[in-house]
Structure 1
Amino acid sequence: MTLSGLLTSQLIEELGWTTLSTTVGITINMILYGATAPFAIHSMEKYGIKKIVVLSLVVLCVGALVCTINSKIVFNLAWGILVGLGCGALTMSFGALFARSWFKRTGLPTGILTASAVTGQFVLLPGWAKLANEFGWRAPLIGCVVLTVITLLVICLLLNEKRSAIRTVTAYHLKPDSTFVDVFVNLKTFVKNKKFWVIALAFGMCGATTNGLMWSSFTPAANMEGIPIADASYLLLIVGVLNIPGTIGAGWLSDRINKQALLSVIFILRGASLIWLPFILTQPVGWELIAFAVVFGVFDVATVPPVINLCNQIFGDQGPSAFSWINVAHQLGAGLVALTGGMIAFITGSYYMLWFIAGGLCFIAAVIVLSPYHSEQPVQSVSP
């Protein structure tokens, strides 16, 4: 997913594309990354986890291969639809489903699962950037195809009852008689609850100030200011590494302190770092940008465990399903900001204003999460 910013920069350099050339595909990708999750979870419960995981990885592999075709239309369709669907089926909601299945206190395990996902998104970027510089823009996509094929082999060989006991968990959730209509029946129940809307609004602003920025806008923004793509990728590597203690720590804290207060502090500190960024992005990579990467990394995805924990407390066994729909709002926010960033850069020649808009959204979210409608009190009993 984080390849979008790197690919945009490479396509501008090598093929003369503009920031708008990939904006539509990136926006569709981010929206589907969220919108796919409720249906993916339903499918895992109906058809089994392994089948949906394999299908998602195959779609992802095909999408990455199709993206190597030198065509703006093909790239936007493949990146937007195929890669969006493939990644969306294995998003944070996937982790929420497992955490709810195995653990009574979901904060810490959710933090670890989220940290692993974000680490995969960021840690590989410097390697992809080096490949792109040496072999061209197609190299990172081919590298992802290779990793996907390896993952498929591992899944086919190891994801079975004998080696992982995963079938027992799948059987517990198996709903062979369910239909896709049930997905919307659950949504109808959620939208009647004010707490759902408050969490969704705040999480939408979360997506706007994380995925919508760092995945698609940071690398081209840094490159416009004279920072090499490789250096920008190393900064994102720092963000990814610091996500590990930040997200795990937030998960541990969400099991022990008020989640609303925790979320508010995270949003305030994230917003402050984003307001600082435009003043230091014009400088060569030094301690200021490294400090930004450290601070932003700690609070980048730290909102996810508290939000999942809130969903599990408020909606009980329907918590993962509720979170999957709330994650749609997260990705809608991300997609809108990715689109906005591309338009701002195209019109003004800089992403300068985008960082102030994102910082302001963080401060608004910090207030929203303190709303009385964002209470941790359950609306229905939680199954033991």
Structure 2
Amino acid sequence: MASKVYTLRFNPKLSRNAEGDDVRDGLSAAVLTGENLWLCCDESTTLERLRRTGPRTFGKHCQYALADLVSLPDKVTEEIDLEGMGEAENYLWVIGSHSIKRRNAKPETATIAKQIKRLAKVETAPNRCLLARIPLVINAESGDYELHKTAPHPTAEGQKLRAAQLRSRKTGTNELLDVLTRDEHIGPTLRVPAKDNGFDIEGLAASPDGRLFLGLRGPVLHGWAIILEIRPEDYAKGELRLGQMEGGGHPLYKKHFLDLRGMGIREIRQQGTDLFILAGPTMDLDGTIAVYRWRNGLFQAHDSLTPAEQLERLLDVPHLPHLDRAEGMALLSEREMLMVFDKPAPARKPRPHTILANAYTLPDGPSKG
């Protein structure tokens, strides 16, 4: 499918993390608010804000350190593995993968015996268990949206917006993982690394009524992908807890199973009552990457199971072997979806600190409910 090419330009002073990795090489989520494009990288602990500078360009890079806005359970230098962002009701929501990781063999640096030993090592990363909301307020003078730890509510006089996060512990868990431990489908996969079809959150959509939809890259169960629906609510200063959910098999979350032909979920976006789903290979596999529309997915009264015939496959996203993996989607308009890529091919990097993204035309408008 034909697409428009957008150019994203980053500030050279801000574009590399502490290990020297470039933000543009690991883009994992994207959200548009007004003229600002928000991006995150799965190898960093920052959020990136660009501004529209032309018909198909974004630049004027600004960066926010998450450690200045929320409390990270581990060192500020440890990656969060940011995989999802969503915007609703004056907040930007962010989420880490919540996954555990297995060390890679690294054949270029070790003997066979050491490589085999590395493959046996499984690690938790507490910063990955971040689920937080951050006040998102427009600056009337600049026209840019800004992130704050606290801020006056823009329309409700006397009220404040406050950053908050789901209660977590330094042991590498939080309330969501504690609850899911007892889940018959997901519980066993919490002890499995993401690259082994273990638990791995890679998509987030925020509904105006306070609900969040979490897309799982894994596990994929007999071909069925999973979306978790939760409703975080204020608990204490700076803390959130899981609120009650009606209609689900569990009082604190709903489970939605979707037949994506064996693919996992890489991103979710909300439009009207519909959910757009970016689907791709689970684990560390190459394969088809496609965008689906789940009509009225925003309002499922109960746990649900949706066969492939009830999902609209809108487009396939081209990619190269081991490169150009679409990971983030941002709605530029009702009919245009921007894609950003992890492990971009060299052709996407025409100049230093610059990356090319693609925007695809959606076939029709959202459902009205």
- Shorter chain as denominator, the TM-score bin is under 0.3
In terms of fraction of residues, the more helix-rich structure is 1
Higher relative contact order (CA 8 A, sep 6+): 1
Could you state the TM-score of these two structures normalised by the residue count of structure 2?
A: 0.25
In terms of fraction of residues, the more strand-rich structure is 2
Could you state the TM-score of these two structures normalised by the residue count of structure 1?
A: 0.25
